[in-house]
Chain A
Amino acid sequence: MNAATATGYNFAYLDEQSKRMIRRAILKGVAIPGYQVPFGGREMPLPHGWGTGGMQVTASVIGEADRLKVIDQGADDTTNAVSIRRFFASTAGVETTEQTADATLIQTRHRIPERALQENQILIYQVPIPEPLRFIEPRESETRKMHALSEYGAMQVKLYEDVARFGHIATSYDYPVMVNGRYMMDPSPIPKFDNPKMDMMPALQLFGAGFEKRIYAVPPYTKVESLDFDDYPFEVQSWEENCSICGSNHSFLDEVIIDDAGSKMFVCSDTDYCRERVAQQENPA
């Protein structure tokens, strides 16, 4: 066992039986892209806001050779991101990093990094509500049937109601996708800006929902399409402004209030991407 690992805990905190169960569910998820695999066992007792599903998946996948990055809304330095990194550094003795390019595992809440992910990287999403049809149909037995029959018309109706009311599709987060042309999937509450990054991504994408105990997956190089209509094609958010720090005109921007008078600026939500761009501008290769 790695000398840096906290003693008295299981490696990565989770017991081996739970890991095996989750590992079997992950393999099934990969084999049936976009389908929600139920898994049993008890919930991992963790602080609120850590996303137990993402934590369970990370704990079952992570090994001593990994370098872990954790982002929360794109940032590596929020309280939750820092705590989760420290948790795995101490319970699994793994290296951590803030650099997307250096990470082998990235656990995320609410964003996909701007830098294109590569083969041999794994992106692990924390998912609060795994069922995209839940707000249309509260009964699990019914949503199971809808998925079994690919009966997804109700979601199209919901999106079209947006069009009727607002003149465009107003849904901007948690925007539903079709995986490999078969299963409708909730991409977790990422901005729809990130949806196109899921399509044919070279990295493996794993999703963990702790409360509902569901795991799902998108293998590398798998088709992921955002729902839309012929007359209202899918569009991502865009900004008039550029990032105030790195000048990026193509990343997802957060609006930040900078003084008591309410002045605003826009900055990249992906803090590592912003840092990397600034470093390149200071030291062009």
Chain B
Amino acid sequence: MAVISNTLIAGFNDPVQDAQQVFRAALKAMSEPGTLMACSFTKEAPEGLDNSSWQLALTLFDADTKVWLSPALAQNDAVISNLRFHCQCPLIDNTAEADFALCNADELPFLADFNWGNAEYPDQSTSLIVQVPAISDEPFWTLTGPGIETQRSLRIAGLPEHFRADLIRSRQRFPLGIDTFYCCGDQLVALPRTTQIEEAC
């Protein structure tokens, strides 16, 4: 559980107010799936993390949340030292036990490897935070469902084919499922398990 001091960076300038504003951005993102939000309450992130995923970690992770990191992040001293120092979150090896998983898009495991919750407690699922190379509202995915008045367009670059297909199919297992955040730089977008996704061919 070592923390390497020369990799440590500052967290929020004002931990109370900044965490509140990042939470509100995350809440709006989750309530209005596909809506692009921007979070810029930190000047820098540990090398290897996007600014928005770092801010989500500072806002939502703590000693009560088990966090799984994708391989490159799990081997990154700056990432693990800062998460341990600022969030005190236990870092775990088993995806199925994760409350949160923080992943690079090109390292995503199979969606089935995470915890989807159970019929009585579907909330006990893994929440997934994926760092992606680009997010835009170009028409690629057409989103419908709660939080969307008619439909919304979204394009997330860099997601593996198996992940996109499994995510789209996972909607059939509602209320079980995985709620997802996608992060790129300061940008943040969310797709809860209720969002139906249609992919342009």
Interface residues of A (CB under 8 A from B): 1, 10-11, 16-17, 19-21, 23-33, 35, 37-38, 60-65, 144-145, 147-149, 180, 182-183, 202, 204, 218-223
- Interface contact B147-A219, CB-CB below 8 Å: yes
Most buried by A among B20, B26, B121: B20
CB distance from B24 to the nearest CB of A (A): 6
Which stretch of B56-64, B90-98, B107-115, B158-166 is in the interface? B56-64
The complex places the Cα of A185 from the Cα of B151 at a distance, in Å, of: 25
Which stretch of B27-35, B72-80, B134-142 is in the interface? B27-35
- Interface contact A27-B15, CB-CB below 8 Å: no
State whether the Cβ of B146 lies closer than 8 Å to any Cβ in chain A: yes
Of A30, A35, A144, A182, which is within 8 A of B31 by CB? A30
The complex places the Cα of A61 from the Cα of B21 at a distance, in Å, of: 9
The complex places the Cα of A19 from the Cα of B22 at a distance, in Å, of: 13
- Interface contact B30-A31, CB-CB below 8 Å: yes
Most buried by B among A20, A27, A38: A27
Q: How many A-B residue pairs have CB under 8 A?
A: 109
Interface residues of B (CB under 8 A from A): 14-17, 19-21, 23-24, 26-27, 30-32, 59-60, 62, 64-65, 119-123, 125, 127, 146-149, 174-175, 177, 179, 192-194
> Could you say which residues of chain B place their CB within 8 Å of the CB of A64?
17
- Indicate whether A221 sits within 8 Å of B17 (C-beta atoms), given known contacts A32-B122, A35-B123: no
- Interface contact B20-A63, CB-CB below 8 Å: yes
The complex places the Cα of A204 from the Cα of B125 at a distance, in Å, of: 22
Of A38, A60, A61, A221, which is within 8 A of B148 by CB? A221
The binding surface of chain A is classed by DSSP as mixed
30 A-B pairs, CB-CB below 8 angstroms? Answer: A16-B19, A20-B62, A23-B60, A26-B27, A27-B26, A28-B125, A30-B192, A31-B30, A31-B177, A32-B192, A32-B193, A32-B194, A60-B23, A61-B23, A62-B20, A63-B24, A65-B21, A145-B120, A148-B119, A182-B174, A182-B175, A204-B27, A204-B31, A218-B146, A219-B31, A219-B192, A220-B146, A221-B148, A221-B149, A223-B146
> Could you say which residues of chain B place their CB within 8 Å of the CB of A27?
26-27, 30, 60, 127, 179
The complex places the Cα of A257 from the Cα of B172 at a distance, in Å, of: 55
Of B26, B125, B147, which is within 8 A of A222 by CB? B147
- Interface contact B146-A222, CB-CB below 8 Å: yes
> Could you say which residues of chain B place their CB within 8 Å of the CB of A25?
123
Closest-by-CB residue of A relative to B21 is A63
> Could you say which residues of chain B place their CB within 8 Å of the CB of A11?
16-17, 20
Closest-by-CB residue of B relative to A148 is B119
Closest-by-CB residue of A relative to B63 is A17
